[in-house]
Structure 1
């Protein structure tokens, strides 16, 4: 497996652990609909948090969240609409980014809530 794939998988696991530690329930991981993949769908109370995980080995070329493109956001929103309808959910939906940067052997984790509103 390529290093960037391993880093991405590690980042997703760190994000899941972070969410669980902060009282979220993981509803789905790597949910795929058409060309979209939603990294994590988690719930806390009556809020469904749709989480895109962005992991980088450094910030030399920008922050992890800077690598989310408008087209990807549109695909994620469409996929989540289908997920909500398919599962007949009645919840508030929030789109978040968990940005992770590897720093030596450690990782910094930043949870950006309502992140899609900044695009």
Structure 2
């Protein structure tokens, strides 16, 4: 059985591949700061996008998108500030969430741009 970290890494890779097919370019994965981890940092044209990936084995207990609480948003924002101190960006910024729900063994992805 896979541990939570392996499952999370696989979900992030699934989301990354899906977003790259939509034209996004990967800048960084799993950026760690004292406030937490940014799953994916990607470029959408001129916009730098910080992407939180959430996965659920089923939608029975709610959407994975609902798991990004106000506290989680605050931690992601602080982590993004830490990233920008190390990697300045002059263009627009955005926070997106990609939710993945497994249905019959296949991932179903949803993408919310400007999630917060």
1:48 aligned counterpart, secondary structure: strand
Once the two structures are overlaid, the 10-residue window that deviates more, 26-35 or 78-87, is: 78-87
Change (3 A) 1:103 1:39: same
Q: Deviation per CA, 1:3-49: give whole Å up to 9, x if none.
A: 54433222111101011111111101110110310000000211011
CA RMSD of aligned residues (A): 1.4
Residues 1:104 and 2:77 aligned together = no
Q: Deviation per CA, 1:55-114: give whole Å up to 9, x if none.
A: 000011100011112111111101111212321211211100000000112110011101
Residues 1:87 and 2:100 aligned together = no
User: Counterpart in 1 of 2:26?
Assistant: 26
Separation (CA, whole Å) in 2 of partners of 1:79 and 1:9: 18
User: Counterpart in 2 of 1:78?
Assistant: 78
In the alignment, is the contact (CA less than 8 A) between 2:48 and 2:89 conserved in 1? no
User: Counterpart in 2 of 1:13?
Assistant: 13
Separation (CA, whole Å) in 2 of partners of 1:86 and 1:67: 28
In the alignment, is the contact (CA less than 8 A) between 1:7 and 1:56 conserved in 2? no
Long gaps (5+) in structure 1: none
How many matched pairs?
116
Long gaps (5+) in structure 2: none
User: Normalized against structure 1, the TM-score is what?
Assistant: 0.90
User: Counterpart in 2 of 1:58?
Assistant: 58
